[in-house]
Structure 1
Amino acid sequence: MRRLTYENARGERIVFYLSPILIESLTGIGEVDADLQGQKSPYQDGETHLDVILQPRFIDLEGSILKTDLREMKAYRKHILKVCNPKLGLGKITLELDGDTKEIFGVLDGTPSFPERGRDVWQKFLITWKCPDPYWRDPQEVSRALRSYRGKFILPTTFPFELGISGDSTILYNGGDVDAPVTIDIQGPVTRPRVINKTTGQFVILNRSLSADEVLHINTNDQNKRVEIYRGAETIEKAIGYLDHDSDFWKLEPGDNEIQYIADAGNADAIVAIAWHNHYLGM
């Protein structure tokens, strides 16, 4: 089965499948161009490899409107043009292929094209999306929660005693092909929270206390990096200036990642939620 659903920024959806809007050709779902980054020294044979940078993904869909009645054909043309409007910006592409489902975000690279029908009974069309982030991802978001502080001081008590254990750790598994950006939501009350990826050695530290009604939100996606503090459903403050200067917008490596959450002070209600989508090179 090969079915593609496009949902624009207004929530309007269109499904390309068999009838009445048939997919005839779909390219760009696997291949994506890459730039090889290298460095050359004087008198060096060849060059030294540095990195590989993937380019935006372009997805081309060719199809046909399987209607012979001119009024119905025109109605479907208008529907395609309305939903696939490049002025609306990024929309979500969901592809179901051979029992697998992945999604990606793309913007229309121009309006849909409808060639002259000539002797064709059906109306053909061509649609191209440009996906700035070239990676497909799982539709389901994975989420885990950790506590920054677990108190153990209970009265009456005997000596010696533990005042508390400052931190919690867990293993997060990234089942994708590449590093996965994360969203980190830290619920107060907590003082100077730190979330550490011990597998990579990277961390993020907030040099600020959060009250019980405040939530720190961090997004490490390269296309949408954010550090904000929320109270209720509203953003009350941009908080990137509170991050420790050595902090990293870290991601999950493919495979197991040991994550630790600690703080200088807090209570049992101070938790962090880490969420991510596994990312893939192709379908």
Structure 2
Amino acid sequence: MDSVIITNKNGESIKLGNQAPYFLESIDGVGEVPVALESQKAPKQDGSTFIDNTLDNRAVSIEGTIITKGDPAAVLMARRKMQKVLNPKLGEVTITYHQGNQVKEITGIAESTPIFPSGQGSKGLYYQKFLLHLICHEPFWLDPYFESREMSYLMGGIQFRLMLPTMFSYRGFKRRAINGGDVATPVEIEFKGPAVNPTVSNLTTGEFIKVNRELEEEDVLTVNTAFGHKYVKINGQNAFHYIDLNSVFWQLVPGENALSYTSNNDSIKTRVLVKWKNRYVGL
């Protein structure tokens, strides 16, 4: 049986499934998402020339019934909890969808407060129908965990099998990262000094991120490459101005990516952590 857990930013949550009080009846919008096509048409051209496309917002609609036994007040309490969890003024909620053995999550915001129909058959002493409409501005479903793919490290002709998130050390480190999702996905990179002008490159795309700064042993540099959420911080403070002007906030393309880390400091204490979540266009 499919189930949905909705959690707000205060950590409050409700579970919709096959157990009281929130019974899930249907969920729409988990697979399809509208596509905005960009094209160009020249004079006397038959048809048009495709340029690009982007995914629109994902609309998720959920229907179900609140059912309690022997306590009419419990219906009202369940209604109030649903309204509290899905209060749009709190911002986005996390929707975790359990579909068989598959678990994916997405963030969205309630398009309206929960709808409780009052027509015949929608409301009774021990039950109440409900409708939820949510808009997901980031249309991709994500794995609920950061990816930790097995990777290999080649140095001096000896191969070591490691896991990602994993640590880089020594100059000229290379790793193989697998993006098992449908589209490119951003990464989070954490440097732990010492390091001088640390650089992490995606050799598959030919792009790199370089920070023109010396990191002491106690310094921690963090970089996020997500669109709309990019940041560069040292010990929690903004450090965007240290980014090399030729840097690109690269992402992992679908499939295999070759990553490398270089620094002007050979210290074996230097560590670099790279992590990401796979993204899927539908379920």
1:224 Cα deviation from its structure 2 partner: 1.5
Aligned to 1:132: 137
Aligned to 1:12: 12
Residue 66 of structure 2 corresponds to residue 65 of structure 1: yes
Report the 3-state secondary structure (helix = DSSP H, G, I; strand = E; otherwise coil) of the residue aligned with 1:15.
strand
Aligned to 1:49: 50
The residue type equivalent to 1:31 in the other structure is E
Q: Distance in 2 between matches of 1:147 and 1:266?
A: 12
Q: Distance in 1 between matches of 2:212 and 2:2?
A: 49
Residue 200 of structure 2 corresponds to residue 184 of structure 1: no
Q: Distance in 2 between matches of 1:180 and 1:193?
A: 22
Report the 3-state secondary structure (helix = DSSP H, G, I; strand = E; otherwise coil) of the residue aligned with 1:252.
coil
Q: Distance in 2 between matches of 1:187 and 1:226?
A: 16
C-alpha distance after superposition, 1:12-63 (max 9, x if no partner): 0100001321111210001101101112334333222111100111110011
1:7 Cα deviation from its structure 2 partner: 0.7
Residue 165 of structure 2 corresponds to residue 144 of structure 1: yes
Q: Is the 8 A contact 1:191 1:266 kept in 2?
A: no
- Structure 1 regions of 5+ residues with no counterpart? 150-165
Q: Distance in 2 between matches of 1:210 and 1:91?
A: 37
Report the 3-state secondary structure (helix = DSSP H, G, I; strand = E; otherwise coil) of the residue aligned with 1:96.
strand
Aligned to 2:254: 254
Aligned to 1:158: none
- Pick from 102, 105, 110: which aligns with 1:103? 105
1:67 Cα deviation from its structure 2 partner: 2.4
Report the 3-state secondary structure (helix = DSSP H, G, I; strand = E; otherwise coil) of the residue aligned with 2:188.
strand
What is the root-mean-square deviation of aligned Cα atoms in Å? 1.4
Higher alpha-carbon deviation: 177-186 or 45-54? 45-54
Q: Is the 8 A contact 1:117 1:124 kept in 2?
A: no
Q: Percent identity?
A: 38
Q: Distance in 2 between matches of 1:57 and 1:88?
A: 20
Residue 280 of structure 2 corresponds to residue 275 of structure 1: no
Q: Distance in 2 between matches of 1:247 and 1:223?
A: 17
1:145 Cα deviation from its structure 2 partner: 2.8
Taking structure 1 as the reference length, the TM-score comes to: 0.89
Count of residues in correspondence between the two structures: 262
Taking structure 2 as the reference length, the TM-score comes to: 0.89
Aligned to 2:156: none
- Structure 2 regions of 5+ residues with no counterpart? 148-163
Runs of 4+ in 1 over 6 A off after TM superposition: none
1:127 Cα deviation from its structure 2 partner: 0.8
Q: Is the 8 A contact 1:133 1:223 kept in 2?
A: no
The residue type equivalent to 2:257 in the other structure is N
Q: Is the 8 A contact 1:148 1:263 kept in 2?
A: no
Q: Is the 8 A contact 1:148 1:262 kept in 2?
A: no
Q: Distance in 2 between matches of 1:148 and 1:263?
A: 10
